[in-house]
Structure 1
Amino acid sequence: MTRAETTGRRRRDVLRALAACSALPMLGTLTRNAHGAPASAASAPAALGRTCAPVDWPDWARFKARFLSDDGRVIDRSMDDQRTVSEGQAYALTFSLMANDRATFDKVLDWTANNLAQGDLTAHLPAWLWGRQDNGQWGVLDRNPASDADMWIAYALGEAGRLWNVRRYTALGALVARRIAAQETDFVPGLGRTLLPAPVGFHPATDLWRLNPSYVPMQVVRYLAGRFPESGWAQLISSSLKQITLSAPPLGFAPEWAIYRAGRGFEIDPDTHGEGSYNAIRVYLWSGMLAPDSDDLHALKHTFGGMLRYVAAHGAPPERVNTRDGNASRAGGSGFSAALVPLLQAVGDTAQAQAQVTRARALEAQSAPGYYSSVLSLFGLGWHDGRFRFAADGTLRVPWEATCPTR
């Protein structure tokens, strides 16, 4: 197929998706009511979909009470700028869907589009950082998008469209997925088409790329490739799996960041010096939550023996570890323990998995966790409690799907 033919096909796909979006009131675009004020998606006429009440998920209720504003902004209150990151918005969309909490989903989606995507998620990927500026005003602090957040947004939209039977969510998810593939990937020799952490700043030299293995949860990559086959995501399956497996040093710990050099492969990132910490903890989390019958879990569950042995020997995952020699600092918090639960369960260490559940709950009872730790716990402990599962193709499995009627 020629470049002109490919471009023409993509343009037609986008137009079809836009037509599907316009068939119902648009979510994620800045609309105006009769008085000229911004109108939220919640104020739009109700669409067909599933109609039962949100599930009772106490951890999600606490997260909303602590970190979610009335208008749908997830706030990291530990930071002086009271920031919101696109990752937090993406996770809130995902948890809202898991909880069948459509009112919260719509609020979070509206805020994300109106404040991070210049009012239109069909035209812009969201900026990754928003908060209080030096002059005291509120707004975008860094407009460069973050591809991991964008992926989870596309995923949440696609699955919201399927589970709630709302076509406009699906159409918007398809557009976001396509835009990620167009703006946040590059062809990397030896890897193929590869997800970059952002459109700008991660290809510092002709033969050099800076990558983050925690940005490519395989269930999300598989889902976007299968749900939106014209988006280009199928090309990213192999390179994403290689990012995770080949960037981990022989000791079996996931790094925060990794350098990939054409002709030489993965190298230690000079900025983080091979450390594994707050980014890397998600690599174990995403891997452990893969479906038991998935090829990806078979490929990954024995990749991180170093971390599993460390937890068995010390009773908790480290907050920071040198992936080259295994030396570690203090124990990680409640979210770190929660993040290891699915992987421990996946490799059959049910006793240690339960020990990490107990530790996470005990630490949470002693002091309220912060935003990021709470996110890790919602994923790890929510998975452990059976609130959700991921199928081999990445689709979301939630208990309420079988009992919630569609109208």
Structure 2
Amino acid sequence: MGLLVASVLAGSADRGSWSLWERYAERFISGDGRVVEQGPGSRTTSGGQAYALFFALVAGDRATFDRLLLWTEDNLAQGDLARSLPAQQWGRAESRGSWGVLDASSAADADLWLAYSLLEAGRLWNAPDYARKATAVLSLMDEREVADLPGLGPMLLPGPEGFEVEKGRAWRLNPSHLPPQLLRRLASVGVGGRWGQILASAGRLQRTLAKRGLAPDWILYRTGAGFEDDPIGGTQGSHDAIRVYLWSATLSRRDPLWASWLESTRGLTPFCSGADTVPEQIDVRSGLSSGRGPPGFTAVALVQAAARGERGLTERLARRLQSTRRDGLFGEPPAHYDQNLALFALGHRESRYRFAADGRLVTAWERR
């Protein structure tokens, strides 16, 4: 039995060094704190920066955290997170032959993870400046990325523009942008926005998903009609939706929403039971699946199975995931997004971090 399989089944690992994080940092993070999503253009996204900040905090790696934060603020937020939300994409513009912001619009899911990581870093490292930055980011988000949807209430939109459609009668939403543990934490501290109301709105969306037990990448909310299939994204669940299963599996069992959230994502593991593979796409309406998901999907299905007490499936998925490991990372070549999913999933399964009932981050290093 490999070390990964053993640690997954035990629900714990060596609380010292985190080899997956260390290999990730070596492969994807430059010396100045830029997360390079290797591929055409060597782009950087605000989401990649925000996730890396969270993992650095989980690892207790403050030096890397500070480098990531400095690069993010200087290059994506015009040098001041109190005034600008991070641009969502940075890289080489072939048209002008120079490096810089490629898409200046903000991405709400990245902003949420950035603010949460800063807030918890301020608490865990007793560093008020991080918390002040978090409050500033949250206030900007409330101002620019939150809309009051008739009949639903305040809701976090995917970004400041482009998601209100049909002349203000409908809105496109992304369920994976609403991790309940983060919303719970922001609501409990009461800073920078209407997060308790947004959590309630997210709960209503999740109850809609519970009817099928599957998550789509996108969903539409229409005034007077409620939630509907998205006319652009359709009924497919894939690279966005996989995170919905991740958030439900890592939610605290003491959270009031835990049972309902897990119930709303019950449809994933049955697809994995036969061949121990995870489909890349699932049509939430027809229930038909297609493709073979990459290693990151396997990591998410693994923690879903573990959260449901499906020990046999958990072990089989752990073995499959282990078979994709090359030089400490997953996949060949290792895709950036897959490593993010694996860091979230395995970090939680190995008890490197947990979310408390109020959404606080609990790390292994603070418990030593």
TM-score by length of 1: 0.83
Secondary structure of 1:287's partner? Answer: helix
Say whether the 8 Å CA contact 2:212–2:264 is kept in structure 1.
Answer: no
Count of paired positions: 348
- Deviation, 1:228, is 3.5
Q: Secondary structure at the match of 1:313?
A: coil
Taking the TM superposition and a 5 Å limit, the aligned residue runs for 1:344-363 are: 344-363=305-324
Superposition pairs for residues 151-166 of structure 1, below 5 Å? 151-166=112-127
Instruction: Tell me if structure 2 keeps the 8 A contact 1:333–1:360.
Output: no
Specify the alignment match of 1:233 in structure 2. Answer: 195
Asked if residue 381 in structure 1 is aligned to residue 343 in structure 2, the reply is no
- Choose from 97, 100, 114 the match for 1:139: 100
Q: 1:244 aligns with which of 200, 206, 225?
A: 206
Runs of 4+ in 1 over 6 A off after TM superposition: none
Distance in 2, matches of 1:299 and 1:200, equals 31
Shift of 1:317: 1.7
Partner secondary structure for residue 243 of structure 2: helix
How far apart, in 1, do the equivalents of 2:151 and 2:307 lie?
A: 30
Greater RCO structure (CA 8 Å; 6+ sep): 2
Whole-angstrom distance in 2 between the partners of 1:279 and 1:230: 26
SS at match of 2:160: coil
Query: Deviations for 1:279-326, whole angstroms, at most 9, x for unmatched residues?
Result: 000000011000111112111111123212112233122111111111
Task: Report what 1:69 is aligned to.
Answer: 30
Whether the 8 Å contact between 2:303 and 2:314 is mirrored in structure 1 is yes
Of 211, 220, 225, the match for 2:182: 220
- Tell me, yes or no, if structure 1 residue 127 matches structure 2 residue 87: yes
User: CA offsets per residue over residues 235-284 of structure 1, 9 Å max, x none?
Assistant: 211012223332x3743211001111111111111222211100000000
Q: Kindly indicate whether the alpha-carbon contact (under 8 Å) linking 1:222 and 1:237 is maintained by their aligned counterparts in 2.
A: yes
C-alpha distance in 2, partners of 1:185/1:273?
23
> What does residue 233 of structure 2 align with?
272
TM-score by length of 2: 0.91
- 2:151 matched to which residue of 1? 190
What amino acid sits opposite 2:250 in the alignment? M
Alignment of 1:318-333 (within 5 A): 318-333=279-294
Shift of 1:225: 1.3
What residue number does 2:44 align with?
84
Q: Answer yes or no: is 1:393 the counterpart of 2:358.
A: yes
Return the alpha-carbon distance in structure 2 between the equivalents of residues 358 and 368 of structure 1.
Answer: 19
For residue 206 of structure 2, what is the amino acid of its counterpart?
Answer: I
Correspondence for 1:204 among 141, 150, 165: 165
2:268–2:301 Cα contact (<8 Å) kept: no
Question: Which of the residues 353, 357, 372 maps onto 2:337?
Answer: 372
Distance in 2, matches of 1:231 and 1:251, equals 31
Q: State the SS of the aligned residue for 1:325.
A: coil
Bigger mean CA deviation after superposition, 187-196 or 103-112: 187-196
Quote how far apart the aligned CAs of 1:234 are.
1.7
Whether contact under 8 Å (2:135, 2:191) holds in the other structure is no
| Distance in 2 separating the partners of 1:121 and 1:91 | 17
Instruction: Give the C-alpha shift of residue 362 in structure 1.
Output: 1.1
Q: Aligned-pair distance for 1:55?
A: 4.5
CA contact (8 A) 2:138 2:192 kept: no
User: 5+ residue gaps in structure 2?
Assistant: 1-14
Cα separation, partners in 2 of 1:230 and 1:91, compared to 1, 3 Å: closer
Aligned equivalent of 2:71, options 111, 133, 139: 111
2:67 aligned with 1:102: no
Gaps of 5+ in 1: 1-53
Residue type at the aligned position of 1:95: F
Deviates more, 1:337-346 or 1:118-127: 337-346
Q: Which amino acid is the alignment partner of residue 242 of structure 1?
A: R
Amino acid at match of 2:336: Y
Larger Rg: 1
Distance 1:82 1:101 in 2: 24
Distance 1:370 1:229 in 2: 35
Residue 285 and residue 140 in structure 1: after superposition, are their counterparts in 2 closer, same or farther (change >3 A)? Answer: same
Report whether the alignment pairs 1:281 with 2:242.
yes
- Conserved 8 A contact 2:210-2:264: no
Q: Deviations over 1:1-21 (max 9, x none)?
A: xxxxxxxxxxxxxxxxxxxxx
Contact persistence 1:224–1:233 (CA under 8 A): yes
Retained in 2: the 8 A contact 1:178–1:232?
A: no
Instruction: Please state if 1:343 is matched with 2:304.
Output: yes
Contact residue 333 and residue 363 of structure 1 kept, 8 A: no
Q: Distance in 2 between matches of 1:402 and 1:329?
A: 43
Match of 2:264 among 287, 294, 303: 303
Provide the rounded CA distance (Å) in 1 between the counterparts of 2:307 and 2:151.
30
CA contact (8 A) 1:275 1:320 kept: yes
Shift of 1:186: 0.4
Which residue of the partner structure matches residue 4 of structure 1? none
Using the alignment, how far apart are the partners of 1:229 and 1:66 within structure 2? 35
Shift of 1:328: 1.3
SS in 2 for 1:312: coil
> In structure 2, what is the Cα distance between the partners aligned to 1:61 and 1:381?
14
Does 2:265 match 1:293?
no
Aligned to 2:275: 314
